[in-house]
Structure 1
């Protein structure tokens, strides 16, 4: 089973062990906010209606609930403590607070910049408490963007950037060759067409000091007009097919982020 958690709602989805099996939306509830207490209350409402005892559960957290950032390893770093310290200092510089109340995980590297993520400790405690109360096995807690990036990693083409559309927001992973250079997020304005997308990508390339990508590969419910067409020479845009039921709420789509195809 998979649980999608966002500030405005939660969803429980059952997935099969066979590829041909369709995912089943078991339930959804509205949430009262992003704090751990509100999530815990919503979880109790959601799980109290379903038999989840003994189930293996993956939790996908919307990007509003987590922090994502790039970390440059300090020169001469040789210990994990050096990398952890660099990630904590960068967290404080970007988000204006100490990382003591957050749990940091990353693709640790002493030789190149790496992506780090942080989840509030209080939220992790609420999830662990729910696992104990409802007797399910909490096998993974993963941020939405990280889950999706890993899901489509093998499909990323050379020279391409990767984008995720969810809840009216576009998150973009900018690459410098094979290296992930930055993750940028912005709300999608009403009526955002291909011209808006091209302008946005061009601005983000300038901000991170890279050339415009050859291609942008996008997953999620992106506007169909973003796809490449004749006469569009600035960069190509590929929309990965969205196999989720279009009538499902965003929290259910969130629950399936990172699911193996």
Structure 2
């Protein structure tokens, strides 16, 4: 398929399947679902590689820029405090690996780790299983995609909208019945908190939930919330701001793939 200026691919990966979305910075159709492929036994490396090959086989995507967004339940995210006197990247990577081991009880060697590395203050790190990361990058290379990033969904949303988050606000991503808060800290991302949204949750539930999370974290409750993703209509009141469009009628897989898109 001939690529026009401003077009790109978004690939959503979850335990349910893989979705391919084509985006465009110009024109009426800013985002369109190309194809979806179910995964029967979860997102193992071979399953994901085969599913991605099946999706890409239907078109000529050589040299298309592509971003892969991985469901948060396949990833891990945590806060890292840099050691005193840290000056090298190796020091920060070692601190992230040590904290990973403490939190999850396993070495980080089986995970692909990235972070907003900062030697002067606490920073956020994220990791994907190495077998999953390698399967995705390998299949993308076979089809000569210009791979931009492989990123957990929440980080994709945060990277897209963090510059618009007010100092007194919290950012939140709503996807497939889960609300994930990102609490800003020192001009960066502090704690990340995810919770299942109960059936029928309204704006009062949202306000109370944010207040409870603030108490758990020992921080001030947000003056307002700025949310992206599949925001329920029942929440559209009070101090809530919706960032971006809620893609009505899209499957969870398609919404996952589109997270963070600037199209």
Q: Under a length normalisation based on structure 1, what TM-score does the superposition of the two structures give? A: 0.90
| Kept after mapping to 2: 8 A contact 1:71/1:114 | yes
Cα distance in 2, alignment partners of residues 69 and 19 from structure 1 = 39
Compute the RMSD of aligned alpha carbons: 1.8
- How has the CA–CA distance of structure 1 residues 259 and 86 changed in structure 2, closer, same or farther, with 3 Å as cutoff? same
Partner of residue 240 from structure 1, selected from 219, 238, 243: 243
1:25-61: CA deviation from partner (whole Å, max 9, x where unpaired): 1111112202212212322322222322332221111
Shift of 1:213: 0.9
Are 1:42 and 2:25 an aligned pair?
no
- Answering whether residue 66 of structure 2 is matched by residue 57 of structure 1, we say yes
Task: Identify which range, 205-214 or 168-177, moves more after superposition.
Answer: 168-177
The equivalent residue for 2:208 is 199
The answer to whether the Cα contact below 8 Å between 1:3 and 1:255 also exists between their aligned partners in 2 is: yes
Alignment partner, residue 38 of structure 2: 30
Q: Is the Cα–Cα contact under 8 Å of residues 12 and 20 in structure 2 kept in the other structure?
A: yes
Is the Cα–Cα contact under 8 Å of residues 47 and 134 in structure 1 kept in the other structure? yes
Q: How many angstroms apart in 1 are the aligned matches of 2:53 and 2:130?
A: 19
Say which is worse superposed, 103-112 or 17-26, in terms of deviation.
17-26
Take 1:219 and 1:7, find their aligned partners in 2: how far apart are those partners?
A: 22
Q: Deviations over 1:220-257 (max 9, x none)?
A: 1122222333xxxxxx322234252x222111111111
Q: Map 1:117-132 to 2 at 5 A.
A: 117-132=126-141
CA distance in 2, matches of 1:177, 1:249: 36
**Displacement after TM superposition at 1:129 (Å):** 2.2
Q: Equivalent residue for 1:98?
A: 107
Corresponding residue of 2:258: 256
Is the 1:158–1:177 contact (alpha carbons within 8 Å) kept by the matching residues of 2?
no
2:155 is aligned, of 138, 146, 158, to: 146
Q: Distance in 1 between matches of 2:141 and 2:117?
A: 30
Kept after mapping to 1: 8 A contact 2:25/2:262: no
On the 8 A contact 1:176/1:210 being kept in 2, the answer is no
TM-score of the two chains, using structure 2 as the length reference: 0.90
After superposition, the Cα gap between the structure-2 partners of 1:176 and 1:57, relative to the gap in structure 1 and judged at 3 Å, is closer
Give, in whole Å, the separation in 2 of the partners of 1:183 and 1:78.
26
**In 2, are the aligned partners of 1:159 and 1:177 still within 8 Å (CA)?**
no
Matched, 1:6 2:14: yes
**In the TM superposition, what is the alpha-carbon distance from 1:205 to its structure 2 partner?**
0.8
Distance change (3 Å), C-alpha of 1:132 and 1:150: closer
Unaligned 5+ residue runs, structure 2?
1-8
CA drift of 1:177 comes to: 5.5
Residues 53 and 79 from structure 1, CA distance in 2 versus in 1: closer, same or farther, beyond 3 angstroms? Answer: closer
Match of 1:233 in 2: none
Q: Distance in 2 between matches of 1:19 and 1:79?
A: 45
| Partner Cα distance (1:137, 1:58) in 2 | 9
